[in-house]
Structure 1
């Protein structure tokens, strides 16, 4: 199968042994943000997600990135990891999830991205996945394991003078919990922003797993992506 190493053969059957697997009876609700942008929400899509969370936090080779923001490097407030398409995936439940999503949406995802928000101080600001470049027609699936955290979505088309990155007024909170699946599609990455904000108080950790696909149609994005260096203009 394209995108999954043959070394993962038989992994779907093993998912039950590890206690995490896709619930084939989970209900999908499609929410339209506008005429061309939507999100599918499937609560409880993966059973045993808390056990999967513990496995991922204990064995994934996590790294902490740094980004140049104007006058200095800023350490990214979360941990990330990446498994390229075609590489062995040592987590049977994620292989099963990939196969189920591939059948449902009829697309080949680019790999397995993982983000670990260790506590309420970890976050990611409002952004679009501009690194994909072609954003007119995309599918981005996000599986949550661990603690329930806000997941905010808001339009990028705001009145002149309104701040975008740190202003969550008017944002919709999809609030995924452990085992919930969000699938952002259509022009979501072109016209909408998403964020995982900081949370006050004691909050347990959350790992999200992401699969991305772009049709590579339409006009490609120009300019730097979210992780690109930013400097003061002269």
Structure 2
């Protein structure tokens, strides 16, 4: 059963909209050319967007082969490729804002949007980097906007090492850049603690998955 969504105190009262990025993003250099940017509360009224996406996105439950058996993917998924209409106009606004802020540094626009619906603490994603396609060989960026209840996003150096945790939800933005997809891994671990549902929207350039 999906845990009940706990709205933030202002999440439904605030007007749905994006704050500035310039001057409000905090960058952390991780080493080996990898970095992350954090912008807490970038999207105001984020609980409204969560409700819209939860109800309107055509979520898919997938199964994948894991060693010698086929297992359920522990989250719901949706993907919007180049030219697809995004499920809410504020996501178009978010992509344009990301392009305006990161375009010179990235050298290209964000093209696709992948959505993940973590229904409760049993849903998760294992340690990985977005290395399918160009992310495995080139520096790139992946921008993740989180709505719904916060969940822990963990990062660690590829091959092991001390991890970093950021609890993301209610309109928070994280951008993983530089060599981050090649030299670091990230995960949303399962948790036995009470955890409400969360949706993440991952904006990526062409050829990065």
Regarding TM over 0.5, the answer is yes
Say whether the 8 Å CA contact 1:109–1:212 is kept in structure 2.
yes
Q: Counterparts in 2 of 1:32-71, with a 5 A limit?
A: 32-71=29-68
Cα distance in 1, alignment partners of residues 133 and 26 from structure 2: 26
Match of 1:143 in 2: 145
Out of 181-190 and 90-99, give the one that drifted further. 90-99
Task: Note closer, same or farther for the CA distance 1:134–1:127 as it changes in structure 2 (3 Å cut).
Answer: closer
Cα distance in 1, alignment partners of residues 164 and 88 from structure 2: 32
Match of 1:179 in 2: 171
Displacement, 1:37?
0.3
Say whether the 8 Å CA contact 2:153–2:168 is kept in structure 1.
yes
Helix, strand or coil: the match of 1:202?
A: coil
What root-mean-square deviation, in Å, do the aligned CA atoms of Structure 1 and Structure 2 show? 2.0
Match of 1:74 in 2: 71
Cα distance in 1, alignment partners of residues 15 and 26 from structure 2: 25
Which residue among 185, 193, 201 is the counterpart of 1:201? 193
How many corresponding residue pairs? Answer: 190
Structure 1 unaligned blocks of 5 or more = 1-17, 159-168, 217-224, 226-234
Cα distance in 2, alignment partners of residues 198 and 215 from structure 1: 29
Cα distance in 1, alignment partners of residues 199 and 87 from structure 2: 16
Q: Counterparts in 2 of 1:1-150, with a 5 A limit?
A: 19-24=15-20, 27-106=24-103, 107-135=108-136, 136-150=138-152
Match of 1:230 in 2: none
Displacement, 1:64?
1.0
Helix, strand or coil: the match of 1:32?
A: strand
Match of 2:205 in 1: 213
Task: Note closer, same or farther for the CA distance 1:104–1:215 as it changes in structure 2 (3 Å cut).
Answer: farther
Say whether the 8 Å CA contact 1:139–1:214 is kept in structure 2.
no
Structure 2 unaligned blocks of 5 or more = 1-13
Choose between structure 1 and 2: higher strand proportion: 2
Q: Counterparts in 2 of 1:143-162, with a 5 A limit?
A: 143-158=145-160
Moved segments of 4+, more than 2 Å = 132-136, 213-216
TM-score (norm 1): 0.76
TM-score (norm 2): 0.85
Helix, strand or coil: the match of 2:132?
A: helix
Cα distance in 2, alignment partners of residues 119 and 210 from structure 1: 19
Q: Name the larger-Rg structure.
A: 1
